[in-house]
Amino acid sequence: MCVDTYTKRDRCTSAEYSLKNCRQIYHFYIQEHQNLGTSVTTMADGPNRGEDPKSSTRMRMDTDPNTAISEFLTMCDGYQLFQLTKFYRDRLEQAIEEGVDGISSLLTYEKNFSGQEHRKVVDLVEKGNRADSSKLLLNLVMEKGSQARRVMWESFVKMHHAVPKLDKILKEMQELGPDPFVYMNIRRGSSEIPSHLKDVQQKHNETLQVQTETLRVNTILIKEKVKIFQLVTLYTELTVISTVRDRTLVEHELLARGRNHEEWREKHLRRELEKIRTDQLFQSSFSRRKSKSGSSAAVSGVAGIGKTTMVQKIVYDWATGKIYPHFQFVFSFKFRDLNAINCRINLMNLILDLYPYFGNILGELWKNPEGLLFIFDGLDEFKDSIDFAHNRRNTEPQYMCTDPEDWCEVSDIVYSLIQHKLLPGCSVLVTSRPTALHLLEKAEISVWAEILGFVGEERKEYFNKFFEDQVVAAAVFKHVEENEILHTMCYNPSYCWILGLSLGPFFTQRDRKLQRVPKTITQLYSYYIYNILKNHGREIESPRDVLLKIGEMAFTGVSEKKIVFGNGDLIKYNLQPSQFLSGFMMELLERDESAQSVVYTFPHLTIQEFVAALAQFLIPDPGDIRKLLSEAHRKEDGRFEIFLRFVVGLSSSQSARPLEEFLGQFLHQTICGVIDWVKEKVEGETGNTESETGKKNLLNTFHYLFESQNQTLARVTVGSVEALTFSGLRLTPIDCAVLSHVIGLCDTIKHLDLHHCSIRCEGLRRLGPALHKCQVLRLGRNELGDSGVKLVSAALGNPDCKIQELGLWDNDLTDSCTDYLSTALSTNRSLTELNLGKNKLGDSGVKLLSAALRNPDCKIQKLHLDDVGLTDSCTEDLVSALSTNRSLTILDLGLNSFTDRSVPALRSLILTRRNLKRIWLRGNRFSSNGKRHLESLRESRPGLSVGV
């Protein structure tokens, strides 16, 4: 049984395999003992066997290939196992969720759990509460004796290959060396602070609490320029993982992460990636450090994902005593503020500039660096680069700062703190966008973490907190949820904020028509700017002129990858800083004032890109807009991708109309130039899909068409397109939604090839409304599953269905899908070729399919049933069905399990079906004699091709 469980690994889902592996452990223990007939519950209540636990452990471990970790566990005494379990407790809760029932069964068999305790664990599993089940199991184990913990850890060794999170924990334990308890026993409690520092600590706590207890949010829904919320009221927890998936992403990520966010979460989050709470960044099992030199943590996250707000929450929670009691003092800095320091400085003055009340007592703090946490927020905004790989920064000469009172460059201070050369023993937290994270690759980072943003119900929770009126909150969220592209954005709190501000009025003002609610990203951002203009546009003499100047500055920023602007930048574009008394300006550019300088940023990079795009329609003499767009399109680093989508989107009257109310008419010459450019791009790329690059370019132009919502333009450019090929190119659900929109505008699609595009059921659902228009539809190797075939069957059942050739090869289909398919085929009159090869239909599936084939109105001429798990049991049904079918000419039954028992029926089929031209039977289990009998039929049927 153990061997069989492993050999079936590739045919199980990850969750199924994890559970099977747990059962393997269970059966391993049962086979090890002789009393196989006793039930788990009975044995749990019976007497102990009285064997030596250490002897039993050694016997079991000798059979285990994981010798090192097994020997380590054998040497652990009861107290050490208790500490080990306690240390990894939070991570183990996540790791064992998928196999918790199997582990509970094993503990019950070993008489560590009672039958009643086991049933409580299993009941939670059956209710779908695996997280609660794993917590309960660990609670029970921690209450038991050392033998329960030993059995549990031995089970982890047995199952870790099938459970990536467990595998990661055990590998880390091995890396820590023969005595990880030295590492585990690092002082974790709160250190006593000298009495003469308690007053300044209290003052510091109170100061930080006041600074962080409120969240300032710009609002465009009401006349208030800024609305202030209590942080704990509005803050929604973000999902953070204890790893960094990709450190080379481009600057903007409007869709780059969101495009596959939900799909990725379902596939990896539960199985592979460990969640980490902010209070676990230091002195937890996630933070691996073997000495007391200090601990550094790096938290990555894309623009607007909530890094700065998370830092604010960390500081607030520390100041109110909720987290990090072992830190006596926390000092938080923003890199954008540090940019204003243009002279040498020391750490002491850096702190005193922000917290002058420390006076001359900082020297006392240096004596206990273990009690200090330094936070540096926004490494990607730092003007200087720090080279950890070569132990130098970007200025010469190289300098290592080892004394907090040494005068040096800011970059030296940051470098030396992170590398534990300055105040060794202190802890450092750095946040950054992925684009700058590579700077830290060679740094001494103990914990790498990434903010995924909102996952699952966290999105809904955000909108519930955003709107006081829960009816409005529900209406907005429902609209977002039903719109694939808008919903995709909601993993990012910044996008949720923009959506809330922009969509709110459509559900709170009676004069708004719901049919005009934004559908595209361009429309959404147009209403965002519209609301700013409506509330604040009359505060300045000429909103159009000011917006043009801001847009020109924004475009330069996009071109140069610049997101932070100073007073000099504003003056360069004839924007006076005094204009920021206007709410209009405050909404477009956020003013961030520090003691050293004033800097300005757009609320989000995508707003900067939108304003840059908008400026192109306000320029009085635009020149050759097509040339500008072509030059931007040629940039391969993606900096102009979203800018171009916005430009094309703004050429549509639907997007322009609300803005023109305040900005005047968009330049007709520019609109025509943009439309001509899009037309040229689409026409030039529709026939150029032989290469992967060509397919990507065509898909991107379809995104342009979607943003434009210009049906006339779309029909002119793609209306006559007859073939679309994206085979081999990964298509996300958003891509499928865009593709469906384009296909819907085509007159006829003779050929749609989406073979091996990883669209899965979610992508197919987006394509659903357009599938029936395609004559040749190739969907092979897309992991559609039975639910996907249900969607395809709906297209086949459409009265206007044009599908003639349907390819569903290698899609993880089972017999469950053939019922939907059979029903659809009973009414469909267009399908002539059906490829169901390399699926798991089995005899039962083909029997259901035979009912449709038996219908005299069935038009199928070519049927591919190769490698679908057929045996002799289905031959009679299949032959009977085909004997009444008059359309079939080609039949592929290769790579199944037919034997000589099926030869008579197959001979009868071939001889009676005079219109059958080809039949493939290769790869079955016919004997040599059986093959000869089938091959001999060629002589009696001239023109018949029989492949055996």
512-563, pLDDT tens digit by residue?
555 578 888 899 889 889 888 887 767 777 889 989 999 999 999 999 878 8
User: Is 0.85 topped by the overall pTM?
Assistant: no
- Res 20 pLDDT > 60: no
What span, in angstroms and rounded, lies between the C-alpha atoms of 553 and 574? Answer: 10
Element (H, E) at 457: helix 457-466
Distance CA 352, CA 361 (A): 11
CA dist 382 and 23 (Å) reads 53
Question: Could you tell me which of 178, 252, 898 has the C-alpha nearest to residue 557?
Answer: 252
How would residue 32 be classed by pLDDT, with cut points 50, 70 and 90?
A: very low
- Weakest mean pLDDT among 243-257, 438-452, 599-613: 243-257
Q: Is the pLDDT of residue 572 over 70?
A: yes
Per-residue confidence at 183, pLDDT binned at 50, 70, 90?
low
Cβ partners under 8 Å of residue 42, min gap 6: 115
Confidence of residue 644 (pLDDT cuts 50, 70, 90): very high
**103-160 pLDDT, tens digit each:** 999 899 889 999 999 999 999 988 888 889 999 999 999 999 889 999 999 888 888 8
Count other C-beta atoms under 10 Å from residue 34's C-beta. 7
Token output for 707 = 């943003």
Asked if residue 595 has pLDDT above 60, the reply is: no
Q: How many CA atoms lie within 13 A of 696 on its CB side?
A: 8
Q: Give dist(CA 272, CA 167) in Å, integer.
A: 10
Nearest-angstrom CA–CA distance, 706 and 227: 35
Closest CA to 66 of 161, 176, 1: 161
Instruction: Judge whether 398 and 421 are in contact, CB under 8 Å.
Output: no
For residues 174-193, give the mean pLDDT: 60
What's the confidence (pLDDT) of residue 19?
41
- CA-to-CA distance for 467 and 446, rounded, in angstroms? 39
Cis peptide before 65 (omega within 30 of 0): no
Phi and psi at residue 447, to the nearest 5°: -130, 125
Report residue 497 as tokens: 């904020």
pLDDT at 752: 95
Are 601 and 589 spatial neighbours (Cβ–Cβ below 8 Å)? yes
> In the prediction, which pLDDT does 485 show?
67
User: Which pLDDT score is estimated for 15?
Assistant: 38
**According to the model, what pLDDT value does residue 474 have?**
93
Instruction: Quote the CA–CA distance of 11 and 187 in Å, as a whole number.
Output: 47
Rounded percentage of the chain residues whose pLDDT exceeds 90 = 39
Lowest mean pLDDT among 36-45, 99-108, 438-447, 805-814: 36-45
Please report the pLDDT score of residue 395 as a whole number: 45
Highest mean pLDDT among 139-143, 172-176, 213-217, 225-229: 139-143
Give the count of alpha carbons within 13 A of 313, CB side only: 17
DSSP 8-state symbol, 780 = -
The distance of Cα 575 from the centroid of its chain, to the nearest Å, equals 40
List of residues 6+ apart from 419 with CB closer than 8 A: 388, 443, 444
Q: Are 535 and 509 in contact (CB under 8 A)?
A: no
According to DSSP, the β-strands at 392-393 and 386-387 are antiparallel
Residue 36 in this model has a pLDDT that exceeds 80 = no
When pLDDT is cut at 50, 70 and 90, the band that residue 249 belongs to is very low
Sheet holding 598-601, edge to edge: 565-566, 598-601, 590-593
* 3-class state of residue 475 by DSSP: helix
Q: Residues 622, 670: contact at Cβ < 8 Å?
A: yes
Phi, psi (5° rounding) for residue 449? -140, 155
Instruction: Please give the backbone phi and psi of residue 80, each rounded to the nearest 5 degrees, phi first.
Output: -65, -40
Quick one: which of 608, 616, 683, 598 has its CA closest to 642? Answer: 608
Mean of pLDDT values over 608-633: 92
Which among 149, 129, 163 has a CA at the least distance from the CA of 86? Answer: 149
Please enumerate in sequence order all residues whose Cβ is within 8 A of that of 457, keeping only pairs 6 or more positions apart, or say none. Answer: none
Which ranges in 33-99 belong to alpha helices (H)? Answer: 40-45, 53-62, 67-75, 78-87, 89-95
Q: pLDDT at position 330, please?
A: 97
Q: How far apart are CA 171 and CA 240, in angstroms?
A: 22
Cβ proximity of 462 and 239 under 8 Å:
no
Between the alpha carbon of residue 735 and those of residues 478, 700, 738, 774, the distances in Å are: 21, 9, 5, 17
Q: What is d(CA 824, CA 10) in angstroms, rounded to the nearest whole number?
A: 32
Q: What is the mean pLDDT of residues 156-178?
A: 80
Q: Is 888 left (phi over 0), alpha (psi -120 to 50) or beta?
A: beta
Map residue 448 onto helix, strand or coil: strand
Residue 617, number of CB atoms within 10 A of its CB: 25
622: its two tokens: 């635009």
Phi, psi of 8, rounded to the nearest 5 degrees: -90, 10
CA distances, 646 to each of 147, 249, 643, 664 (Å): 64, 21, 5, 19
Q: Which position has the token pair 């916005």?
A: 646
**pLDDT tens for residues 657-678?**
889 999 999 999 999 999 999 9
| pLDDT average, residue stretch 29-36 | 37
pLDDT at 266: 56
Residue recorded with tokens 């099926």: 902
Strand pairing partners for 200? none
Task: Tell me which amino acid residue 152 is.
Answer: M
Between residues 611 and 855, the one the model is more confident about: 611
